[in-house]
Amino acid sequence: MSRKFSFTVPYTVPVEDLHRALTTDDAWRSRFAGADTATLELSHPGGAGTIRIHMTEKARQDKIPGIVRKVLKNELVLSRTDDWQALDGEIAKGVFEASTTGITSRMSGSYVLRPTAEGSQIEVVGTVEVKVSLVGGAIEPLAEQLFHRVLTSERKFFEEWFGAQATA
């Protein structure tokens, strides 16, 4: 059984600027600088103004919820691929796919980047499925919460990155 979810991530940055950052290799390399347990692969299969970001990261044991640690078969490695399309007016769309090793899980969905009065927002809609007998349904909300925290962390990074770019 899978679980559907949706949430928005607000930004204080205009759509055009945020999209430019989201599709810029330098921003993502800065985001992952010093991440010892992470990998990052960037490509632009759709041409200028698009990006495919493939990221993996090994989860630290102290950050893994107890219910998940109990059913892990080996190290928990998170893998995520985001594909962002070019801006179409003031809207940009993207898709994401994520999975884990150590526990069988899959997440997929879409992004819509659009303007707001305060700047912009990314609307996230997706599904998550954790294939673990008896406790998979209990782990799915945790996976959704983790994804929300990751995107919130990315928002903080990109807003700080914009501040640094403005003063450079």
The answer, as to whether pTM is greater than 0.75, is: yes
What integer pLDDT is reported at residue 88 of this predicted model?
96
- Its domain, for residue 20, covers 3-167
Coil/strand/helix, residue 119: strand
HSE value, Cβ hemisphere, 13 Å, CA-based, for 38: 14
pLDDT (tens digit per residue) in 9-32: 999 999 999 999 999 999 999 999
Provide the 8-state DSSP code for 35. -
Q: What is the CATH number of the domain that holds 59?
A: 3.30.530.20
On whether the CB atoms of residues 62 and 34 are closer than 8 A, the answer is no
Res 98 pLDDT > 80: yes
For the chain, how many helices (H) and strands (E)?
4, 7
Instruction: Name the amino acid, one letter, at 151.
Output: L
Q: 10 Å Cβ neighbour count for 100?
A: 21
DSSP character string of 66-90: HHHHHH-SS--EEEEEEEEPPPBTT
Strand partners, 20: none
Residue range 112-126, pLDDT digits in tens: 999 999 999 999 999
Q: State the Cα angle at 148 between 43 and 109, rounded to 5°.
A: 55
| Planar angle of CA 44, 49, 51, nearest 5 degrees | 35
Domains in the chain, number = 1
pLDDT category at 168 given cuts 50, 70, 90 is: low
| pLDDT above 80 for 136 | no
Nearest to 23 by CA among 113, 106, 107, 105: 113
Which DSSP letter does residue 102 get? T
Is residue 143 a contact partner of residue 2, using CB atoms and an 8 Å limit? no
